[in-house]
Amino acid sequence: MADMREKFLHFSQPTITRAEIAEVVKTMKSGWLTTGGQSRRFEEEFAAYIGVRHAVAVSSCTAALFLSLIAEGVQPGDEVITTPFTFVSTANVIHHLGAVPVFADIDEET
């Protein structure tokens, strides 16, 4: 394919230092990969960082979107405005709650 890039183009290049690698190794050695002390520590430190009483770590952005809609009180039949230029789970979580995704796009003239 002549049109393929030779080098991968990142949307957002991650910064991974020795400190992050050490935390991953520490977590793997603990035997607690999805819950436990590291997760609890992350939740507590994140909550303190953003100035709230509680934070909950979840497995994906889809899960986070779902919980945020529940926390906001979205009910079946509610209309939730979202962008059509996104990953499908953005609309899926709205639909899963019985709400209606309403797609709105940006028009530079309005």
Domain count of the fold of the chain = 2
Contact between 32 and 62 (Cβ < 8 Å): no
Render pLDDT for 26-67 as a digit per residue (tens, 0 to 9).
988 988 877 888 889 999 999 999 999 999 999 899 999 999
- pLDDT tens per residue, range 78-93: 999 998 888 899 999 9
| Radius of gyration from C-alpha coordinates of the chain | 19
Residue 14 falls within a domain, yes or no?
Answer: no
Same domain for 74 and 85?
yes
Do residue 29 and residue 50 come from a single domain? yes
Both structure tokens of 92: 């899926």
The domain in which residue 41 lies consists of: 24-57
- The Cα–Cα gap between 16 and 4 comes to 27
Q: Is residue 18 part of a domain?
A: no
Tokens representing 104 are 């709105």
How far is the C-alpha of 98 from the C-alpha of 70, rounded, in Å? 11
Which pLDDT belongs to residue 109? 83
- Is residue 107, in this structure, part of any structural domain at all? yes
Together in a domain, 33 and 70: no
Q: Are residues 65 and 107 in the same domain?
A: yes
pLDDT digits (tens, 9 = 90+) for 7-35: 887 788 889 999 999 989 998 898 887 78
Q: d(Cα 57, Cα 52) in Å, to the nearest integer?
A: 14
